[in-house]
Amino acid sequence: MPRFLTVLAAAALAALAAAPAAWAAKKALVIGNADYAELSDLNNTLGDARAYRDAFQALDFDVSYHENLDEIGFEDAISDFTQGLAPGDTAAFFYSGHGWSDGGVNYLAPIDAPRDGSLRLIKKRSVVLKNGFDGVVDAMRASGASLRLAIVDACRDYPFDSATRSGAQTRGLARVQADLGEFVIFSAGEGQVALDRLSSDAGSTQLSVFSRHFVPLLSQPIFLEDAISEAQVLTALDAQAEGYVQTPSYYDQTLGKTCLAADCGEGTRLAALPVEKEPEPADPVVQDEVSTPETFQFDPSKDYSLQIQIAGAGANGEIEIDLFEDVAPGHAERLATLAAQGAYDGVVFHRVIEGFMAQTGDVQFGKSGAEPGMAGRGGSELPDLKAEFSNIPYERGTVGMARAQDPDSANSQFFIMFAPGAFLNGQYTVIGEVTKGMKVVDSIKKGGGNNGAVTDPDVMARVQVLVDGT
């Protein structure tokens, strides 16, 4: 098939997936359980539920909201919600409270769930999330809703008496198999426990660690795939600082990209947030050795590195990045090619998070004079790259490629690690490492807040390609 037809077909699918029919409704069921009769009470679940209620209402969803439902109330709420859905609707379900898994099926606990009893009894007194037959998500599918979103923040330790644990998973939830049209999000990965609080939290903090990152992104006009990718990284970073491992998981079987807002524009790439102001162009730095588009041809048998002059209010100096052309030849060729073309000259570090990483490389929107607020949303005119994941870990000085939800969506943006980030291992292509100038990297101007968007960011004044060290 000619390439232009393939592109048109893909665009049509994305448009169909991202924009429900004009006559379809958007409906959400939000449940927060906190005050349990026999199980331990929970602190942040109602705050989470209220935040999701407000977020869905801001997205023009018709929201059915409930707190502290017992078994009958839980089942009635699900029945009323799913019976009110019609074919073509967008349906969203959020639950925060106790949950558990038998290793294959995940269950949600009403507030009157018994602490003691056989595993068979506890299953009967719990609500099934999805089992292909009579779970919450299954009922949403049976309604004919075209897009079915389920967000579950119930990844906690097994809440029942230990005598019932035989045959049950001791902590967290199990993986699910999403059907076509379904997007299922868990606040933690398989078998992980989600953090409700951080050691630095004030007493008034009302949102779990995952929700405080995901809810603000859910409310923005960006694609759902980009919102959850962003929340994954921010949540994992917070958990790592506490000595925990928490990597939110999602299971996506929707076509194209998913937009819950009226318009998501072009969306964002992973870790790509707008900057508030573009920097002034930096004076060019004259170097003796530079590759030009006319003389540069990539040869994977040679050793390539990038020599980058950084200038700005934070960092001023030179760094060198050794490209791993033997590990990720396609990505190494891309960075070397763009550098040789001068495409990286004048590109800002648009997103920089203290203790995590500095991101740059948006050759489309990240230069001086580009549209304000767009840095981090673009790439080059070259096609996206197929992932080249490896077993090389993300350590201090590691250079990785930024991407969107699709593993094969890296293009021109890359990031440099300030510290180890094991939660990125095997998820993002490692493209190289800093071999000179980490002190300069450490000085790159940091962004504000958890998202790291930088005002008046530092800039790659000039980027050269060195071949075999020259």
Confidence at residue 169, expressed as pLDDT on a 0 to 100 scale = 56
Confidence at residue 277, expressed as pLDDT on a 0 to 100 scale = 32
Two structure tokens written together for 251: 């299971």
- In degrees, rounded to 5, the angle at the alpha carbon of residue 8 between the alpha carbons of residues 330 and 378 is 50
Q: Which helix (H) or strand (E) covers residue 359, if one does?
A: strand 357-360
Q: What is the pLDDT along the chain (470 residues), one digit of tens a residue?
A: 332 223 333 333 333 333 344 447 999 999 999 999 999 999 889 999 999 999 999 999 999 999 999 999 999 999 999 999 999 899 999 999 999 988 889 999 999 999 888 888 899 999 999 998 899 999 999 999 989 999 999 877 777 876 455 555 567 888 898 998 999 999 988 888 888 888 888 777 788 999 999 999 998 888 898 889 889 888 988 888 888 888 899 999 887 788 898 888 654 333 333 323 333 444 444 444 444 445 578 888 889 999 999 999 999 999 999 999 999 999 999 999 999 999 999 999 998 988 889 999 999 989 876 665 678 888 899 999 999 999 999 999 999 999 876 788 899 999 999 998 888 888 899 999 999 999 999 999 998 765 678 888 999 999 999 998 77
For residues 238 and 308, membership in a common domain is answered with no
With 0-12 CB in 10 A as exposed, 13-18 as middle and 19+ as buried, what is 174? Answer: middle
Pick from 208, 236, 252: which residue ends a domain? 252
Q: How far apart are CA 141 and CA 124, in angstroms?
A: 22
Of 48, 127, 44, 123, whose CA–CA distance to 82 is shortest? 127
Domain enclosing residue 246, as ranges? 13-252
Q: Does residue 260 form part of some domain?
A: no
| Number of domains comprising the chain | 2
Q: Does residue 147 form part of some domain?
A: yes
Q: Does residue 431 form part of some domain?
A: yes
Under a CB-based contact definition with an 8 Å cutoff, are residues 86 and 127 in contact? no
DSSP string, 157-222: B--S-GGG-TTS-SBS-----PPTTEEEEESS-TTPPPPS--TT--TT--S-HHHHHHHHHHTSSS
CB atoms near residue 467 (< 10 Å): 17
Q: Which residue has the tokens 């549209």?
A: 371
Indicate the pTM of the whole model: 0.67
Length of the chain: 470
Confidence at residue 198, expressed as pLDDT on a 0 to 100 scale = 85
For residues 447 and 311, membership in a common domain is answered with yes
pLDDT tens digits, one per residue of 326-346: 999 999 999 999 999 999 999
Q: Which residue has the tokens 């060290």?
A: 469
Q: Does residue 90 form part of some domain?
A: yes
Q: Does residue 411 form part of some domain?
A: yes
User: HSE on the CB side for 359, CA within 13 Å?
Assistant: 30
CATH number at residue 443: 2.40.100.10
CATH number at residue 84: 3.40.50.1460
For residues 195 and 312, membership in a common domain is answered with no
Number of H helices, E strands in the chain: 9, 18
CB proximity list for 348: less than 8 A, separation 6 or greater: 275, 278, 279, 360, 362, 366, 367, 368, 375, 454, 457, 458, 459, 460
For residues 240 and 168, membership in a common domain is answered with yes
- In degrees, rounded to 5, the angle at the alpha carbon of residue 324 between the alpha carbons of residues 446 and 469 is 90
Q: Does residue 107 form part of some domain?
A: yes
Handedness of CA 404, 405, 410, 414 (dihedral sign): positive
For residues 237 and 318, membership in a common domain is answered with no
For residues 88 and 230, membership in a common domain is answered with yes
For residues 344 and 245, membership in a common domain is answered with no
Q: Does residue 8 form part of some domain?
A: no
For residues 248 and 313, membership in a common domain is answered with no
CB proximity list for 117: less than 8 A, separation 6 or greater: 125, 160, 161, 164
The DSSP 8-state label assigned to residue 445 in this structure reads: P
For residues 340 and 448, membership in a common domain is answered with yes
For residues 236 and 320, membership in a common domain is answered with no
Q: Does residue 3 form part of some domain?
A: no
For residues 116 and 189, membership in a common domain is answered with yes
Q: How far apart are CA 437 and CA 345, in angstroms?
A: 18
For residues 229 and 339, membership in a common domain is answered with no
Confidence at residue 287, expressed as pLDDT on a 0 to 100 scale = 42
Two structure tokens written together for 103: 């290793």
